[in-house]
Amino acid sequence: MSIKDNVGSLIQEVKRVCDHCNRDSSDISIVAVTKTVGITGMKEAIESGLTDFGENRVQELLEKIEQFDESVNWHMIGHLQRNKVKYIIDKVSLIHSVDSVRLAEEIQRQSLKLLKTTDVLIEVNVGSEDTKFGIKPDEILDFAGVISKYGNLRLRGLMTVAPYDEEPENIRPLMKLMHQKFNELKSLNLENSLIDTLSMGMSNDFKIALEEGATMIRVGSMIFGERS
Ligand SMILES: *Cc1c(COP(=O)(O)O)cnc(C)c1O
């Protein structure tokens, strides 16, 4: 299967799932996760109609940004060290991985310097796994209250990497919890916020994520094949 075929079946699958749970598939954004993927593969993804790429390492992100024009939207989806914020701040359209007040503070500082507003998501460690970054689900609302004080950040919602499970059905309750927190966050009407993005679902579990209210899915291996 070519990348073009894979993108075709992904889009078809998103449409199918949305139809069956009465959602509008045009409300769903697909972020193609391109870590370890070469430039040729990424160009093929663009030719297939994708516009948004996600990377989890700053170095790789910066190297790739140079190879493309401004029609591509870049997403920082991995853990972000504070000292690297300055390198990406004017280049990414969304930072998915805000997981500490100190990181938010640094994004605020660098954004203010450039007189820009940076769109961010709060990363949630929904399965409370030791190996993952992100704040705990019961800390979301307080954390959001704190970072909403930063005038150069615009909080757009939540992101999670759900625990891997061969049977994705098992993680449905965690995705339900994310959706519930997302709705609570929306109803707080915090300043400097526009809560419209729930970034949840990967190759293995995007169908369940869509059924449970994800608005953005991050898909790598289903598009580009397994990473070595
Ligand atoms: C790698 C990665 C993905 C994509 O995972 P696949 O299983 O390849 O679809 C999504 N989100 C994050 C944060 C990742 O690091």
Give, using CA atoms, the residue closest to atom 12 of ligand 1: 77
Position 3 scores a pLDDT of 97
Whether 177 is in a domain gets the answer: yes
Whether 228 is in a domain gets the answer: no
Whether 197 is in a domain gets the answer: yes
Domain of residue 47 covers 3-223
Position 80 scores a pLDDT of 98
Q: Give the CATH number of the domain where residue 168 resides.
A: 3.20.20.10
Distance from the alpha carbon of residue 30 to the mean position of ligand 1, in angstroms: 12
Note the pLDDT tens digit of each residue in 68-108: 999 999 999 999 999 999 999 999 999 999 999 999 999 99
Position 29 scores a pLDDT of 98
Give how far Cα 114 sits from Cα of 1, 89, 111, 172, 176, Å. 44, 9, 5, 41, 38
Position 228 scores a pLDDT of 76
pLDDT under 70 in the chain at which residues?
A: none
* CA angle (6, 222, 15) in 5-degree steps: 65
Whether 196 is in a domain gets the answer: yes
- The total of structural domains in the chain comes to 1
Instruction: Name the strand (E) or helix (H) holding 208.
Output: helix 206-211
Whether 82 is in a domain gets the answer: yes
Q: Does 56 sit in the ligand 1 pocket, CB within 6 Å?
A: yes
Position 211 scores a pLDDT of 98
Position 1 scores a pLDDT of 83
| 3-state class (DSSP) for residue 120 | strand
